[in-house]
Amino acid sequence: QVQLVESGGGLVQAGGSLRLSCAASGRRITTCAMAWFRQVSGKEREFVAAMTWSGSSTNYADSVKDRFTIYRDNAKKVVYLQMNSLKPEDTAVYYCAADLMGVGAEREVEYDYWGQGTQVTVSS
């Protein structure tokens, strides 16, 4: 079993930065693709970024490319989402997800495990 716990959300001004953390546990985590999704209440969950645990592959939504970076600390088993140049449209609940033996797909149905989410609010 893989368990994921997000943290690091909060309120920031447009143009600011925030780093989200996803603490992962489970012996199979290193076989996973890891991803971040986000969701606004009443709307569909949206792909943000993904990576294989090894870091050999990364994938970003066009809306966040060149602003967000997904990376991990292998020793700590933590996946991060560094968010720079934040915009009000980035406001959402952000979720960490893991896909066993995955390659970083953009479809949420591919992912086996999910964290509880952390709120990010970007003010104007």
The 10 Å Cβ neighbour count of residue 83 is 25
Q: What is the pLDDT of residues 8-20, one digit of tens each?
A: 999 999 999 999 9
Phi and psi dihedrals of 94, rounded to 5? -100, 135
pLDDT of residue 67: 98
Q: What is the pLDDT of residues 28-65, one digit of tens each?
A: 899 999 999 999 999 999 999 999 998 889 999 999 99
DSSP designation for 88 = G
